[in-house]
């Protein structure tokens, strides 16, 4: 219903929903038994801070669980109405929202991408880690240009990260979103840092994109293995390629 959509996007309702999301995620974080890999991840990543934390779309609900309390963080959030709700929820968990959107394909310059890029660069310069999805809307698990360009311009490392739980809701959405549930087991896997040289050309950027994809796939596969499960989003790229081949 249209009136319900309008009501959901009013500030009081979104603030209330943001509070509920915050309380729920705190319950998920506190009630699951967590393991981190590698055990010395913070010792390895700490000297590189601030870093660019990479995640896949659909795996963003719990990504802030990987953040240390002392780490200042900002996250790229869509300019949509749902993005406003996400921004409110992030604020409650201590993460600043940067409003912008990744465009379909790999052109980060549309949909506010340039302004968001500038703001993310300012955040990194000010010592904030920046969290964003590597893939773009409707093209799940294909690394876009934006995150690699941010690494190139800032000189900061991209750190692929996965945060998963054994008890969760898996949705049949385009990105295979997952929402963690309380009272289970959880795994946080932090990947190898990926650097992009300031002089990187188109070929080098393509190599970096593939490296981000590969490492994000690896950390998700490993995180799910640690809780005795399989990544529900694995195989999305292959399925999309097969569909495109059939349509050709």
Q: CATH number of the domain that 74 lies in?
A: 3.40.1130
The Cα 218–Cα 225 span in angstroms is: 10
Residue 125, pLDDT > 90, answer: yes
Which of 13-22, 93-102, 170-179 shows the lowest per-residue confidence on average (mean pLDDT)? 93-102
The predicted model gives 166-187 an average pLDDT of: 94
As a whole number of Å, the end-to-end CA separation of the chain is 38
Query: How far is 176 from 172, CA to CA, in rounded Å?
Result: 6
CA 77, CA 84: separation in Å to the nearest integer?
Answer: 8
Q: Is the pLDDT of residue 150 over 50?
A: yes
Computed over every residue of the chain, the mean pLDDT equals 89
**236, two tokens:** 């999305």
**Alpha-carbon gap, residue 200 to 184, rounded angstroms:** 43
Q: Please give the Cα distance from 225 to 82 (Å, whole number).
A: 31
Residue 118 has pLDDT above 50, yes or no: yes
More confident call, 170 vs 242: 170
Report how many domains make up the chain. Answer: 1
Cross-strand partners of 189: 37, 162
pLDDT class for 197, splitting at 50, 70, 90? very high
Cα separation of 161 and 215, whole Å? 9
CA angle at 241 for the pair 235 and 247, rounded to the nearest 5°? 135
- H runs (alpha helix) in 159-235: 202-226
Nearest residue to 79 (alpha-carbon basis) of 98, 63, 96, 64? 98
8 Å CB contact between 124 and 50: yes
* pLDDT interval class at 27 (50, 70, 90): very high
Q: How much is the pLDDT for 104?
A: 47
Q: Could you tell me if 235 and 165 are in contact, meaning their C-beta atoms sit under 8 angstroms apart? A: no
Contact 179, 167 (CB under 8 A): no
Range of the domain at 14: 2-247
Q: Which of 51, 78, 76 is nearest to 154 (CA)?
A: 51
Q: Which residue has the higher pLDDT, 102 or 201?
A: 201
């Amino acid at each position: 219903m249209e009136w319900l959509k309008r009501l959901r996007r009013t500030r009081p309702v979104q603030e209330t929903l943001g509070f509920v999301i915050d309380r729920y995620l705190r319950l998920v974080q506190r009630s699951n038994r967590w393991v981190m890999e590698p055990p010395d991840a913070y010792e390895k990543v700490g000297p590189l801070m601030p870093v660019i934390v990479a995640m896949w779309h659909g795996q963003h609900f719990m990504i802030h669980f990987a953040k240390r309390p002392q780490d200042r963080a900002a996250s790229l959030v869509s300019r949509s109405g749902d993005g406003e709700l996400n921004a409110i929820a992030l604020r409650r968990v201590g993460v600043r929202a940067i409003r912008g959107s990744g465009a379909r394909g790999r052109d980060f310059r549309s949909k506010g991408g340039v302004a968001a890029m500038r703001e993310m660069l300012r955040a990194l310069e000010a010592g904030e880690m920046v969290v964003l999805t590597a893939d773009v809307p409707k093209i799940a698990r294909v690394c876009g240009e934006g995150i690699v360009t941010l690494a190139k311009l800032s000189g900061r490392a991209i750190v692929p990260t996965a945060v998963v739980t054994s008890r969760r809701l898996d949705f049949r959405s385009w990105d295979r979103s997952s929402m963690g549930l309380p009272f289970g087991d959880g795994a946080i896997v932090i990947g190898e840092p990926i650097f992009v040289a300031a002089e990187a050309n188109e070929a080098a950027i393509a190599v970096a994109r593939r490296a981000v994809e590969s490492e994000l796939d690896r950390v998700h596969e490993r995180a799910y293995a640690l809780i005795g499960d399989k990544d529900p989003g694995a195989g999305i790229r292959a399925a999309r390629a097969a569909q495109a081949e059939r349509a050709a």
